[in-house]
Amino acid sequence: MTRHLPACLLILGTVVVAGAYGQGPPPPPPNFVIILADDLGYADVGFNGCRDIPTPHLDAIAANGVRCAQAYASHPFCSPSRAGLLTGRYQQRFGHENNPVYDPDDEQSGLPVSQILLPQMIHGEGYISGAIGKWHLGAAERFHPLNRGFDEFFGFLGGGHQYFPERLGGRTEYTTDLIREREPIKETEYLTDAFSREAVAFIDRRHARRFCLYLAFNAPHTPLQAPPRYLERFASIQDEKRRTYAAMVSALDDGVGRVLDALRRHHIEESTLVFFLSDNGGPVGERSNGSDNRPLRDGKGTTYEGGVRVPFAACWKGVIPAGIVYEPMVSALDIAATIRSQARATVDQDFDGVDLVPYWTRERSGPPHPALYWRTGGGTTFGLRVDALKVVIPPDGTPRLFDLAADASERRDVAADHTEVLRGLLRLRDAWNRQMIQPVFPGRSAKPPARPAAPG
């Protein structure tokens, strides 16, 4: 397809690496830590240029490893994005395209049990896996993390939560007590601090053998809540929403610092691969949490760049060269494929992601993905990127075409100037769609939205 595109619309990804990595025998299978933020804006980390919210610990991941400038979630909102992350497959392949309604009695709304999840992929290689934080992949018992391959769980099963412990103890999605394994517990800390504490405790308990930690903070997803000790850091931010958001991001960054410190303390930095990313872009407009996706267009719920391009960094001391900026597009779908490969697991799974480590170490060249695709609501919106060309089909059904090389903010629709190119890209869309199925559970976002941004 790409050979039919005008040369002016092509961009070649550039890879900047330092050091002679990728030589010699492969490193032993490492531990894995996946740190997920929720609704974090693309521009809201220091390693992507943020100025008003210091994120020294997140920046340290990028400085000690790789920053992926064009990394994408597989979905512009929470639950389907997580389904893609934990399977390494486009979640539309198995009909997980909506946010499940929170209902412990609903046996349909959750990540289909036909799918193999990340901890199941590597269990045979001796990995102990822990999930901490937000689950949002089904509230019924059959979808519980402990029934999906995780050995430990601490967190909540819904799509978001109250942060202050005195607001917990209710029966609704956001107010339930936190759960340890399957039992409700009485939490006493600010939620983000509690998840950081549990992550450190998991590493302290499990560092002597191979482990995989999935640390899914719900910060900085709404409700916007932060205690004074974090708010005080941002007294200079006038906008109240942005100030609280900044405090929430700062608490998350502190927690990441505690996790990185635990790895140092146990001398396992060289045997641990750490990923950090957001599950989707920051919400904008009425639903904004104070996040900033600039210079990207729009936000959560849309297939514009602001909805799907996310902050992404990874480090593995001694294996991934420090300070790389990796430009070709990568996907959150690559994380499971990378972990399966680096753990040398042999589970039979058709991944849409690829092992990124050889790209970062320069053993492999060229872009990891010829194309990436996004679809919501069974086709309500669509997105496709090939090289620097991006097709966006919003709910009105009219395809837009953007050249991200010249127009990163997707301001100038060039569809009318390149009708043949667009037709070719839409044929790719049709071919991809034929491999997918329709949503298997309706969820909240299947109800006709007042606007395209989806809740959750």
Between CA 388 and CA 265 the distance in angstroms is 42
Nearer to Ca ion, 95 or 299 (CB): 299
Which residue's Cβ has the minimum distance to Ca ion? 78
Find how far residue 109's CA is from the centre of its chain.
Answer: 21
Nearer to Ca ion, 280 or 291 (CB): 280
| 78 has catalytic annotation | yes
**Encoded tokens for 355:** 């092992």
Q: Which of 136, 161, 221, 369 is the catalytic position?
A: 136
Tell me if 306 sits within 8 A of 402, measured CB to CB: no
- H helices present in 88-221, as ranges: 118-122, 191-206
Binding mask 267-296 for Ca ion (x = CB under 5 A): ------------xx----------------
Smallest gap from Cβ 35 to Ca ion, in A, equals 14
Size of site (CB under 5 A) for Ca ion: 5
Q: Which stretch binds Ca ion (CB under 5 A): 39-47, 176-184, 339-347, 389-397?
A: 39-47
Nearer to Ca ion, 78 or 313 (CB): 78
Smallest gap from Cβ 315 to Ca ion, in A, equals 23
Q: Which stretch binds Ca ion (CB under 5 A): 71-79, 205-213, 242-250, 337-345?
A: 71-79
| C-alpha distance from residue 198 to each of 92, 126, 133, 193, 205 (Å) | 32, 22, 9, 9, 10
Closest of 184, 195, 32, 43 to residue 121, by C-alpha: 32
Nearer to Ca ion, 38 or 292 (CB): 38
SS3 content of the chain, % helix, strand, coil (to 5): 30, 15, 50
Q: Which stretch binds Ca ion (CB under 5 A): 10-18, 22-30, 36-44, 398-406?
A: 36-44
Following DSSP, what letter does each residue of 318-366 receive, concatenated? Answer: TTSPTTEEE-S-EETHHHHHHHHHHTT-------SS---HHHHTTSS-S
The residue within the footprint of Ca ion, chosen from 78, 86, 111, 251 (CB under 5 A), is 78
Tell me if 192 sits within 8 A of 215, measured CB to CB: no
Smallest gap from Cβ 300 to Ca ion, in A, equals 7
**Encoded tokens for 374:** 């996004």
Tell me if 211 sits within 8 A of 202, measured CB to CB: yes
Smallest gap from Cβ 82 to Ca ion, in A, equals 8
How many helices (DSSP H) and strands (DSSP E) are in the chain? 10, 18
Binding to Ca ion by residue 393, rule CB under 5 A?
no
Nearer to Ca ion, 82 or 400 (CB): 82
Closest of 354, 365, 389 to residue 14, by C-alpha: 365
Nearer to Ca ion, 38 or 173 (CB): 38
Smallest gap from Cβ 136 to Ca ion, in A, equals 8
Smallest gap from Cβ 81 to Ca ion, in A, equals 7
The residue within the footprint of Ca ion, chosen from 17, 34, 35, 38 (CB under 5 A), is 38
**Encoded tokens for 67:** 């920053």
Nearer to Ca ion, 53 or 389 (CB): 53
What is the b/e burial string over 282-311, where b = at least 16 CB atoms within 10 angstroms of the residue's CB? Answer: bbbeebbbbbbbeebbbbbbbbbbbbbbbb
Q: Which stretch binds Ca ion (CB under 5 A): 35-43, 188-196, 286-294, 440-448?
A: 35-43
Smallest gap from Cβ 186 to Ca ion, in A, equals 27
Q: Which of 50, 68, 78, 315 is the catalytic position?
A: 78
Positions that interact with Ca ion (CB under 5 A): 38-39, 78, 279-280
Residue positions annotated with a catalytic role:
78, 136
